[in-house]
Chain A
Amino acid sequence: MGEYILEMRNITKEFPGVKALDNVNLRIKQAHIHAIVGENGAGKSTLMNILSGVYPYGTYEGDIIVQGEICRFKDIKESEAKGITIIHQELALIPTLSIAENVFLGNEQTGKGLIIDWHKTRQKAIEMLKKVGLNENINTRVMDLGMGKQQLVEIIKALAKDVKILILDEPTAALNDEDSKNLLKLLIELKNQGITCIIISHKINEVVEVADEITILRDGTTVETLCRDIDDFSEDRIIKGMVGRELTSRFPERNRNIGEVCFEVLNWNVYDPKDNTKQVIKNVSIYARRGEVVGIAGLMGSGRTEFAMSVFGKAYGKNISGTIRKDGKEIIMHDESDAIANGIAYATEDRKSAGLILIDDIKRNIVLPCLPKVSKRFVVNENEEIKIGEEYRKKLKIKSSSVLQKTGELSGGNQQKVVFSKWIFSEPDVLLLDEPTRGIDVGAKYEIYCIINELAEKGKTIIMISSELPEILGMCDRIYVMNEGRIVGELTAEEASQEKIMQCIMRSNKEVM
């Protein structure tokens, strides 16, 4: 008994019409890092929601056993009392409050009665910050911290509650490489202090790095649990378990058919819209040919998104200067609709908050950028709209009940397909794709790559921003490296490698110093 701190036995959870979990078993050892991997919709989040009491006892079948004792959590409070804390992908911090206030939110350090003892709060907060190596003033407001540090504050918050089992849902999804590394290091440190961690992650390379055991879920069932040093712990092996088949190649092949230069941005300068003195993009010049997939690699905050958005009809930035040429002719865009009219599309990195209208259905989202195409004068032909929606739903294999389904109800991969449908429908010549596969599972990623390749084969110009270097290397014909708002390197697919890209960034950092 003593070996496992937590067991979940024969967990079955049904939603109306769907069996989300079917007889799932999970056993977790004390002071181990246990990873749960699986495609989107495999049931990872549902399982963790059951464990943390989001879905109360009685709404599922099976047993949860914590330290040998059967637990029946009615809500999150009860699971927290048992030392189980979940940190969701969307952080639950109050941006306008300070670090210290956030850390003890809901767990306030009181003196007498309901009065908060601020001395105690501060003292404890400073202690905790040291423990995880967060070098910040405890009075700093959370909104002024980067994502990586916010994530740490969440962890401190959990530690302050005397956590025994820490569950992290996609902890590194929004972090850059360096922050991710620090976070993973911290997890190992916590493990050494006796805290058990469960991490849910799409980033299999990270999982392989830190996990002691990996449980693979597929379609609501447990496929297998792999143990370090006993089983094959390679990425390929894990992916195979997740998708249920061997993925021969993670990146589909493309018939390269590269034509003339189609899109050029010259001497592009952009200033921060909130701070006139801060130059975000510094004299950037790039070009892209027809049928070419051009990558922009770089760390988070290197200015890639700002660059793409400012090019897309000045959707970002102030005092923008520079020239944009398409097919050799200069084009001037005042706003996003000008950009669309000029055959440029921008698929944002943030699908949910800026890419889709989640309360609207699939068809409405698809036709939005190009309503005149389904309209006579100003009147929208709704039947035509449904027809087009249906066409793209089939072509891009958007899993949904019909084109009338709200996009907010779709999974990440399918949402991204709606975003692609929308921009393909606007018939652009140049597509700016910002993190096209963020938060999407392996299978859906492959499908998105296929769509990108098909577009390139049709002669579209693709400019792709990605933080995942393997993706950039696997997909692009040519790669620009961006750092601190400048282009610091240009590599062809043949000469590019992860090391070379990082070298470009490092070298430029030295030059700046």
Chain B
Amino acid sequence: MKRLDVLLRGNLRQYVMIIALVVVIIFFQIITGGILLSPLNISNIIQQNAYILILATGMLLCILTCGNIDLSVGSVAGFIGAISAVFILKMNMPVFPAILISLLIGVLIGVWHGFWIAYVGVPAFITTLAGMLIFRGLTMVILQGTSLAPFPKSYTFIAAGFIPDISNIEGINLLSILAGIIASILYILYELKDRASKKRYNFEVSSSGAFSAKIVSIVAVINAFTYALARYKGIPAVLIIVVSLVLIYSFITTKTIPGRHIYAYGGNPKAAKLSGVKTKKVLFWVYVNMGFLAALAGIIFTGRLNSATPKAGNGFELDAIASCFIGGASTTGGIGTVVGAIVGGLLMGVLNNGMSIMGVSIDWQQAIKGVVLLAAVAFDVYSKSKSWAI
């Protein structure tokens, strides 16, 4: 019982946010008369929010390193979208190499930021504020103030396309159902392996009842989700990207040495350095990674819009930062998870989507999101101050 207590205290915020997400979903599901979770709308929510989720993943790593944030991601995303448009529409480059080069440019932008932040010591806030201005300006320069459109189908596919089905059954997508089943099996195998390994070390494991209940409920959620997708057009291409990124980054942050170094650096840079963590390297690579993810988000957003515009990506950085903090990241660094940031991003995405269906205007949506952010962080501060008193 004690361990549950310790576990809950550490992750309380994240559980609360998951519960909040479920509550918000149920609320809008009822209020919109079932439109929110309709197969069409689920695909919509995914495609609408993919780029924010991708940015939030990268942003979380920045925030983990002592609460540094990257203000430039919106501008960088817009810039990369514009560059890829110039490559494809003006220079007639084939789509695949154009995307590859655009992503590489994103990485170089990350190197640029990382260099100033990690090796010169310019505060991240300033460096990325400068980056925000630089790349917004450059976006306008290369687009010469106009929009570039339309893109070839192969470009927009990543953002708006669906993975083609393997059979032709009317009204149901077999691949999606199959993906659900495979994901369930992989998940069950992972859990069993983890449990076996814990037993090998003679650690306490949860009772087999609780264990099966957890597995059954998660498998049910996975399959309900893929079934809903199956009833529309199947698996959105962008979902594959988002899910893989979440899995990869969760794995890196929680299970690998570089991940540990990021958390250690965020928890106490001095102590991390004296424990042999190459702190400058950590900071540098976090920003290189952010550049890459910002570029990816830029290509996806441009593909979804099917046009590269000078204003693309405006304010993305704030949504990404808000996702992380709603999802339990600490403003001083060292605390936060990728899954938390994704939950935070989804919470905002569902709020947006639900309010849009209800016909709430964009202005109000913005204001309500602000209140949610404040409430989430205030709750965190409050619960922490209570736990310190004990």
Contact = CB atoms under 8 A, between A and B. Distances in A.
Given A15-B390, A368-B264, A380 B256 contact: yes
B257 A372 contact: yes
Contacts of B169: none
Interface in B335-387: 335
Given A15-B390, A386-B201, A380 B276 contact: no
Nearest to A368: B275
A371 interface: yes
Interface stretch (A173-181, A317-325, A335-343): A335-343
Interface in A374-432: 375, 378-380, 382-384, 386-387, 401-402, 404-405, 422
A181 B270 CA distance: 32
B274 interface: yes
Given A336-B277, A357-B264, A383-B200, 7 more contacts: A353-B271, A355-B271, A357-B271, A375-B256, A378-B256, A378-B258, A383-B203
Interface in A449-475: none
Nearest to A405: B6
Contacts of B260: 364, 368, 371, 380
B271 to A, nearest CB: 5
Given A337-B277, A339-B276, A401-B2, A358 B256 contact: no
Nearest to A348: B274
Interface in B249-308: 255-261, 263-264, 267-268, 270-278
A247 to B, nearest CB: 32
A353 B268 contact: yes
Contacts of B334: 357, 359-360
A235 to B, nearest CB: 34
13 contacts: A336-B274, A336-B277, A337-B277, A354-B271, A354-B274, A359-B267, A364-B264, A368-B272, A372-B257, A383-B197, A383-B201, A401-B6, A404-B3
B390 to A, nearest CB: 5
Nearest to A338: B276
B153 interface: no
A346 B334 CA distance: 23
Given A353-B270, A358-B268, A371 B201 contact: no
B198 interface: yes
Interface of A: 15-16, 312-313, 315, 335-337, 339-341, 346, 348, 353-360, 364, 368-369, 371-372, 375, 378-380, 382-384, 386-387, 401-402, 404-405, 422
Contacts of A369: 275-276
B268 A357 contact: yes
Contacts of A312: 274
A422 B271 CA distance: 12
Contacts of A353: 268, 270-271
A190 B120 CA distance: 50
A337 B268 CA distance: 16
Interface of B: 2-3, 6, 197-198, 200-201, 203, 255-261, 263-264, 267-268, 270-278, 334-335, 390
Contacts of B6: 401-402, 404-405
A134 B380 CA distance: 44
A346 B272 CA distance: 13
A7 B277 CA distance: 52
Contacts of B275: 336, 340, 368-369, 422
Nearest to A422: B275
A110 to B, nearest CB: 33
Given A379-B256, A386-B203, A336 B273 contact: yes
A313 B278 CA distance: 12
Given A357-B264, A368-B277, A380 B271 contact: no
B257 A380 contact: yes
A48 to B, nearest CB: 18
A379 B278 contact: no
B260 to A, nearest CB: 6
Contacts of B268: 353-354, 356-359
A358 B274 contact: no
B272 A16 contact: no
Identify which of B261, B268, B278 gathers the most chain A CB atoms within 10 Å of its CB: B268
A463 B335 CA distance: 35
Nearest to B330: A359
A279 B335 CA distance: 40
A432 to B, nearest CB: 11
A337 B272 contact: no
Given A368-B260, A371-B257, A379-B255, A356 B271 contact: yes
B387 to A, nearest CB: 10
Contacts of B261: 371
Contacts of A355: 271, 274
A402 B203 contact: no
In the A-B complex, list the 8 residue pairs whose CB atoms are closest, starting with the nearest: A357-B267, A337-B276, A354-B270, A369-B275, A340-B276, A357-B268, A383-B201, A378-B256
Contacts of B267: 357-360
A337 B274 contact: no
A355 B2 CA distance: 28
Nearest to A312: B274
Nearest to B390: A16
Contacts of A337: 276-278
A358 B274 CA distance: 14
Contacts of A380: 255-257, 259-260
A470 B3 CA distance: 43
Nearest to A354: B270
A401 B276 CA distance: 28
Which of B257, B258, B259, B278 gathers most chain A CB within 10 Å? B257
Given A375-B257, A379-B256, A380-B260, A336 B276 contact: yes
Contacts of A404: 3, 6
A59 B264 CA distance: 37
B190 to A, nearest CB: 14
A315 B267 CA distance: 19
User: Chain B CB within 10 Å — which of A312, A340, A371 has the most?
Assistant: A371
Contacts of B203: 383, 386
Which of B260, B264, B270, B272 has the most chain A CB atoms inside 10 A of its CB? B260
A353 B390 CA distance: 22
Contacts of B274: 312, 315, 336, 346, 348, 354-355
Most chain B CB atoms below 10 A, which of A313, A353, A357, A384: A357
A359 B257 contact: no
A404 B275 CA distance: 20
A63 B3 CA distance: 38
B113 to A, nearest CB: 23
A312 B274 CA distance: 9
Nearest to B276: A337
Contacts of A359: 267-268, 334-335
A443 to B, nearest CB: 25
A382 B255 CA distance: 8
A335 B278 CA distance: 8
Nearest to A404: B6
